[in-house]
C-alpha cells in the first residue's frame, strides 16, 4: 500500500511547517493538561476529505504528539500500519 502523495506535496509540507511553528512544536492536547510534550504531527481539525477547502488553512491545523494523533485516527496508528504491511 503506497502512502498518500498528498503528504509529500510542497503545499502540505509548507502547511505542516506553519502549524508546527505556530504551536512551538508542542502537542496542543498535552498542553491542555499542563504537560509539555513535543508535537511532530500537524493534524487537520476538520478532515481534509470532508473539508478540502480548509486543507491548507493554518487555522484548521493543530500540533499533536503521536499518542494523541493515534487517538484521533486509530486507523493511522502504528499497529494499524504494521497490520497493513503484512497484508
Q: What is the pLDDT of residues 13-39, one digit of tens each?
A: 999 999 999 999 999 999 999 999 999
> 71: domain range?
5-86
Predicted TM-score (pTM) of the model is 0.81
Place of cell 506553519: 18
Question: What is the H or E stretch that residue 84 is in?
Answer: helix 78-86
Total number of domains constituting the chain: 1
For residue 38, CA distances in Å to 20, 48, 53 come to 10, 24, 28
Max distance between CA atoms of the chain, in angstroms, equals 40
Share above pLDDT 70 across residues of the chain, in percent, rounded to a whole number: 84
Amino acid at each position: 500500500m503506497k502512502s498518500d502523495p498528498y503528504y509529500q506535496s510542497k503545499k502540505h509540507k509548507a502547511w505542516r511547517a506553519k502549524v508546527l511553528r505556530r504551536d512551538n512544536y508542542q502537542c496542543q492536547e498535552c498542553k491542555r493538561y499542563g504537560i509539555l510534550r513535543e508535537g511532530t504531527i500537524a493534524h487537520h481539525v476538520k478532515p481534509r476529505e470532508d473539508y478540502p477547502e480548509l486543507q491548507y488553512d493554518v487555522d484548521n491545523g493543530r500540533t499533536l504528539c503521536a499518542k494523541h494523533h493515534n487517538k484521533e485516527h486509530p486507523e493511522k496508528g502504528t499497529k494499524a500500519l504494521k497490520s497493513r504491511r503484512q497484508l
